[in-house]
Amino acid sequence: MRKFKVDQDEVMKAIQFPDMEQQSIKSRRNAWKKRKHNYIRVTYLIENGKIVVVTVTLKEKCLGGDASNENPI
């Protein structure tokens, strides 16, 4: 998160209100959220009722193209 300058609020919005979500490996989920000029991809899992964030990365494109159907955060 520090490397890409993504704050905790942006990560939580991506998980709670993703523009696109996809299944990942080992019961993980990828949540995609549009920013102004890129996408946040949050890989997370639910463990013992808690959200565990595995990675947060920035991508130029969302998997499958432009997934934005909301205003950028």
- pLDDT for 7-59, tens place per residue? 999 999 999 999 999 999 999 999 999 988 899 999 999 999 999 999 999 88
CB-based contacts of 21-28 (< 8 A; 24+ apart in sequence): 22/63, 28/54
Sign of the alpha-carbon dihedral angle for 12, 13, 14, 17 = positive
Q: Do 4 and 56 form a contact (C-beta atoms < 8 A)?
A: yes
* Tokens matching residue 52: 């565990």
Is the overall model pTM greater than 0.85, yes or no? no
Q: Do 42 and 56 form a contact (C-beta atoms < 8 A)?
A: yes
Residue 66 has pLDDT above 60, yes or no: no
Q: Indicate the domain borders of the chain.
A: 8-59
